[in-house]
Structure 1
Amino acid sequence: MNIQDYPDRDMLAIDLANHLAGELEATLFTHDSATLAVAGGTTPGPVFDVLCAADLDWHRVMVLPTDERCVPQDHSRANARLIAERLLVNRAASARYLPLYLPGAEPEDCLAEVEALLTPALPLSVLVLGMGEDMHTASLFAGMPGLAAALDADAPALAVARPETQPENRITLTAPVLNGALSKHLIIYGAAKRKALERAMSMHPEEAPIAAVLDGITVHWAE
């Protein structure tokens, strides 16, 4: 794990966006396509604002969320909405988006169809994660039913998450898919999350799910 500190969040967004663009460009130089998996929530928004203008062959890039709430794609809490409004614009508008949830369906009923589309695009080329102060990442929450199975090295690509601390059911990429990304990045802001990350480093993934993906990851931190 490598931790990069930034003087402010604006510098973090610019530097990370440029780095991600470089990694995607390098992947496209040697492969027909690249897969970019990104966190939802508000944290990566400023990075998306810069990355979307990168001069890339975006039509060869598949973009997907690391997890999704089981709500319509235009819902205020849908990760798909954030990605559509802040990443899949400008030059990046030509990227292909892969949803993890199909509105109107039960979560379990989506898995086979989405996995069929996702599997040929694995391993992920570039991964951008976030982390909560509770040390969850994607929709892998400590104490949720099925967490051990989603952390297992032989887990399928997707899992249904029903964390008791959250209002919606979710679909999430599992730990082996996240951990198998060729390049992994984690964005965290503030002293509380920095301390949570430091605690997680010595904890079991079932207690601190972020610990499952820290090997080889680059952490980008700003106050």
Structure 2
Amino acid sequence: MNLVEYADRDLLAMDVANLLAGELKSALLARDTVSFAVPGGTTPGPIFDALCAANLDWDRVYVLPTDERWVPQDSERSNGRLITSRLLVNRAAAAQFLPLHADTENPEDVLPELEAQIAPHLPLSVLLLGMGADMHVASLFPGAPGLAEALAPDAPILAVTRPASQPEPRVTLTAPVLNGALSKHIVILGKDKREALEKARFLEPDEAPVTAVLSGATVHWAE
């Protein structure tokens, strides 16, 4: 793990956006298409606002959420809504979006179809993650039913989790898919999350799922 500290959040957003744009450009030099997995939540919004104007071949970039709440995409809780409204605009509107949601009641019913859309784009070219104060990443929550299966080396591409702390089921990329990304970045903000990260380094992934992806990752932090 490489930790990079920033003087403030605005500087972090600009620098991380420039870094991600550079990595996507480099990946496009080597491959016809690249995959870019990004989180929801409040943290990545300013990064998306800067990144969406990057001058690169967005029509060759496949963007997907790291995880998704099982809600309609027009819901305020939808990660897909955030991504399409904050990242897939400006020049980035030309990118291809791979949703992790379908119009069914039970996410398990469509996992094979969702996985089939993602499989051709693995390993992920570039991964951006956030981290919760409880040390969760994507929708890999400590103590959630099915966490062990999602952390396993032979886990499928996607898993359904139903954390007790959350109001709806979630679909998430599993630990092997996240950790297998060719480039991994984690953005954390505030003292609480910095302290959680330091604590996580001494815990196992079932207690601190972020540790499943820390090896080789760059963590970006601002207070």
Q: Which residue of 1 aligns with 2:24?
A: 24
Name the aligned partner's letter for residue 166 of structure 1: Q
Q: Cα deviations across residues 149-190 of structure 1 (Å, max 9, x unaligned)?
A: 000000000000100110110000000000000000000000
Q: Which residue of 2 aligns with 1:213?
A: 213
Tell me the CA shift for residue 105 of structure 1.
Answer: 4.0
Q: Which residue of 2 aligns with 1:62?
A: 62
Question: What is the alpha-carbon distance in structure 2 between the residues aligned to residue 135 and residue 216 of structure 1?
Answer: 17
SS of corresponding position for 1:154: coil
| Percent of paired sites with the same residue | 65
Q: Which residue of 2 aligns with 1:46?
A: 46
Name the aligned partner's letter for residue 211 of structure 1: T
Question: What is the alpha-carbon distance in structure 2 between the residues aligned to residue 105 and residue 49 of structure 1?
Answer: 32
SS of corresponding position for 2:17: helix
Name the aligned partner's letter for residue 78 of structure 1: S
SS of corresponding position for 1:124: coil
User: Which residues in structure 2 correspond to 1:138-177 (within 5 Å)?
Assistant: 138-177=138-177
Q: Which residue of 2 aligns with 1:120?
A: 120
Gaps of 5+ in 1: none
Structure 1 segments (4+ residues) deviating >3 Å: none
Question: What is the alpha-carbon distance in structure 2 between the residues aligned to residue 139 and residue 148 of structure 1?
Answer: 13
Tell me the CA shift for residue 3 of structure 1.
Answer: 0.4
Q: Which residue of 2 aligns with 1:136?
A: 136
Name the aligned partner's letter for residue 5 of structure 2: D
Tell me the CA shift for residue 106 of structure 1.
Answer: 1.4
Gaps of 5+ in 2: none
Superposed CA RMSD: 0.6
Question: What is the alpha-carbon distance in structure 1 between the residues aligned to residue 55 and residue 207 of structure 2?
Answer: 41
Name the aligned partner's letter for residue 25 of structure 1: K
Q: Is structure 2 residue 89 aligned with structure 1 residue 89?
A: yes
Question: What is the alpha-carbon distance in structure 2 between the residues aligned to residue 105 and residue 19 of structure 1?
Answer: 38
Q: How many residues align?
A: 223
Question: What is the alpha-carbon distance in structure 1 between the residues aligned to residue 81 and residue 164 of structure 2?
Answer: 24
Q: Is structure 2 residue 68 aligned with structure 1 residue 71?
A: no
Name the aligned partner's letter for residue 114 of structure 1: L
SS of corresponding position for 1:203: coil
SS of corresponding position for 2:64: strand
Q: Which residue of 1 aligns with 2:104?
A: 104
SS of corresponding position for 1:185: strand
